[in-house]
């Protein structure tokens, strides 16, 4: 029998592939083509519109880094908003903090939640926690209705293609920063330094206009293009305020104090491009 390989077409000049054991889900939801594969080394893998979103084996670096960097920077975060994040991976990390009273997840596609609950059991079904509040709706309207509300906002989105393109716009960043409490912090999925330099630069310029201490940081995720992905930290509170703070129980599969600091070190070509 011939081997099956999962390969995504995000870039016309670059591909990587995961070996598939079997297909577990193949569904056209109201919003997107949702697939879950059992893969050989990386375990169950969620794919949306042909793009790998997460695998059981390497999602932890993404979820720890997108959540704990802003969560640790802010003192005692109580109200948290996750934009997207229907798989529950970021929610699991946010709920590790005993200071958190409410974690709102604004996810457009209920089917992402349903399938992730079944196929990614390591997220521990965070939806049953009474502090979790799932809103199946578009984040723009919700942000507009809630200025000055959140200690931390995490934008845990797909790539800037189709319906997600707006989540990388000036308008979105304006609304997001407006929805933070004074001193609050946001972190956003912010793509790949090699492939998306000019988009990241534009987002950094926007973040600089909107906040005092924006910074780009990076995590190694082998199943994403280029083997990793970056995040934009957006806040008036420096990210370094979170360094060497004690972690809530359950954290540190990927994050440790050296990784925390090193994540903000950028390759020179990219540092120059971004910070001048």
Residues that bind ligand SPD (CB under 6 A): 10, 51, 53-54, 62, 85, 87, 89-90, 156, 158-159, 189, 224-225, 229
Residue 123 near residue 95, CB atoms below 8 Å: no
Start-to-end C-alpha separation, the chain? 54
Tokens linked to 132: 């979790």
Q: Is 156 a catalytic residue?
A: yes
Residue 79 CB, shortest distance to ligand SPD, in Å, is 20
Residue 51 CB, shortest distance to ligand SPD, in Å, is 5
Q: Mapping DSSP to helix (H, G, I), strand (E, B) and coil, where does residue 72 land? A: helix
Nearer to ligand SPD by C-beta: 24 or 164? 164
Tokens linked to 249: 């129980």
Nearer to ligand SPD by C-beta: 52 or 234? 52
Nearer to ligand SPD by C-beta: 92 or 237? 92
Residue 86 CB, shortest distance to ligand SPD, in Å, is 8
Long-range contacts formed by 12-20: CB under 8 A, 24+ apart = 14/195, 14/225, 14/226, 16/223, 16/225, 18/42, 18/45, 18/52, 18/55, 18/223
Residue 8 CB, shortest distance to ligand SPD, in Å, is 8
Q: Mapping DSSP to helix (H, G, I), strand (E, B) and coil, where does residue 200 land? A: helix
Catalytic pick among 49, 58, 87, 156 = 156
Nearer to ligand SPD by C-beta: 90 or 237? 90
Q: Mind telling me the catalytic residues? A: 156
């Amino acid at each position: 029998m011939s081997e099956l390989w999962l390969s995504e077409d995000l870039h016309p000049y670059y591909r990587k592939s995961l070996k598939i054991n079997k297909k577990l889900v193949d569904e056209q939801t109201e919003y997107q083509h949702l697939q879950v594969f059992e893969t050989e080394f990386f375990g169950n893998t969620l794919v949306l519109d042909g793009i790998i979103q997460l695998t059981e084996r390497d999602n932890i670096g993404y979820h720890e880094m997108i959540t704990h960097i802003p969560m640790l920077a802010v003192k005692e975060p109580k109200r948290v908003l996750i934009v997207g994040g229907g798989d529950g991976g970021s929610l699991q990390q946010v709920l590790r903090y005993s200071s958190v009273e409410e974690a709102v997840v604004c996810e457009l596609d209920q089917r992402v939640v349903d399938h992730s609950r079944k196929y990614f059991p390591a997220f521990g079904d965070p939806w049953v926690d009474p502090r979790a509040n799932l809103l199946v709706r578009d984040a723009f309207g919700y942000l507009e209705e809630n200025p000055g509300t959140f200690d931390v906002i995490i934008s845990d989105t797909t790539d800037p293609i189709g319906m997600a393109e707006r989540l990388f716009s000036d308008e979105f960043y304006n609304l997001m920063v407006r929805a933070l409490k004074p001193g609050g912090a946001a972190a956003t999925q912010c793509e790949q330094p090699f492939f998306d330099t000019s988009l990241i630069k534009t987002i950094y310029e926007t973040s600089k206009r909107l906040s005092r201490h924006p910074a780009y940081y990076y995590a190694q995720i082998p199943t994403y293009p280029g083997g990793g992905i970056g995040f934009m930290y957006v806040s008036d509170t420096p990210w370094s305020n979170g360094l060497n703070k004690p972690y809530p129980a359950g954290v540190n599969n990927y994050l440790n104090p050296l990784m925390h600091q090193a994540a903000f070190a950028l390759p020179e070509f990219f540092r120059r491009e971004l910070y001048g």
